[in-house]
């Protein structure tokens, strides 16, 4: 079956999370999401009212983040953040897990944390995506997180924040983001109805098409204009 514009645009969460984005840039980003008919925007929490003012009544969902980007807040703080986000109009929430607890094998803590935020989101009709931050994790942790989230029937698990910089042997910091190896591993151990969101380093249409071929349902990107502009061109020229 041929790929349509809505197939790809409907995968994209237009990311508006960079700490240096100004209010004007956040509003412009919401307008871009509306223009390109993306699945959602994922905007900084304080800016939810901006997103509501631009996107209310449109098919573009309004999303935000909780305990972003490091996931270190206490569960009660994450819960309070989620409550405030919902009150401010969030329809989707991307929550970062406590990475240290995962690396320490404290799975009861992780399950309780995810369950707490998921229950709150579910009661409010809000979609939850659980961010693992795979750059910090090994296969064992990724597999266990997939199993926990699948057992709780969380709507989405997500690879990365895009800001999970890991110190390298040379002392510099870098991150890989959504890698094929991690996505294949997540696909193997995630069970329906839980789906996968990829984020981190997704910059081109071919990146998105590859994610789609791997079974990814959503992608987070700041490169929406370039990706969907190229998609329109390739569809017009029958070169997709």
pLDDT in tens, 186-195: 999 999 999 9
For residue 66, what pLDDT is reported? 98
Query: What is the mean predicted confidence (pLDDT) over 161-182?
Result: 87
Q: Is 94 a catalytic residue?
A: yes
* Structural domain span for residue 39: 5-236
Output the domain CATH number for residue 78: 3.20.20.70
The pLDDT mean for the chain works out to 96
Q: What is the mean pLDDT of residues 46-67?
A: 97
- Say what percent of the chain tops pLDDT 70: 100
Which of 46, 119, 109, 123 has its CA nearest to residue 75? 109
Domain count of the chain? 1
Average pLDDT rounded to a whole number, residues 41-62: 97
- What does the alpha-carbon distance between residue 141 and residue 127 come to, in Å, rounded to a whole number? 23
pLDDT at residue 233, as a whole number = 96
Which spans in 124-237 are helix H? 139-151, 180-189, 205-213, 224-236
Q: Catalytic: which of 13, 94, 135, 182?
A: 94
Q: For residue 180, give the DSSP letter.
A: H
Active-site residue, from 44, 78, 129, 197 = 197
Q: Specify whether 129 is catalytic.
A: no
Q: Is the pLDDT of residue 1 over 80?
A: no
| Catalytic residue status for 147 | no
pLDDT reported for residue 166: 78
């Amino acid at each position: 079956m041929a790929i349509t514009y809505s197939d790809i645009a409907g995968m994209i969460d237009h990311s508006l999370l960079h700490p240096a984005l100004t209010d004007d840039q956040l509003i412009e980003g919401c307008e871009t999401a509306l223009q390109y008919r993306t699945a959602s925007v994922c905007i900084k929490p304080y800016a939810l009212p901006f997103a509501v003012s631009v996107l209310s009544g449109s098919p573009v969902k309004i999303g935000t983040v909780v305990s972003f980007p490091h996931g270190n807040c206490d569960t009660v703080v994450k819960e309070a953040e989620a409550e405030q986000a919902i009150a401010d109009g969030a329809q989707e929430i991307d929550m970062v897990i406590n990475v240290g607890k995962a690396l320490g094998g404290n799975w009861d803590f992780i399950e309780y944390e995810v369950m707490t935020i998921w229950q709150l989101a579910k009661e409010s009709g809000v979609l939850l995506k659980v961010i693992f931050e795979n750059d910090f994790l090994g296969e064992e942790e990724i597999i266990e997180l997939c199993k926990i989230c699948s057992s709780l029937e969380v709507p989405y698990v997500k690879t990365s924040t895009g800001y999970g910089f890991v110190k390298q042997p040379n002392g510099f910091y870098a991150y890989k983001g959504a890698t094929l190896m991690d996505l294949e591993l997540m696909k193997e151990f995630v069970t329906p109805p839980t789906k996968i969101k990829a984020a981190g380093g997704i910059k081109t249409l071919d990146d998105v098409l590859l994610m789609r071929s791997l079974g990814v349902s959503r992608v987070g990107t700041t490169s929406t204009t370039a990706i969907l502009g190229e998609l329109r061109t390739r569809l017009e020229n029958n070169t997709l």
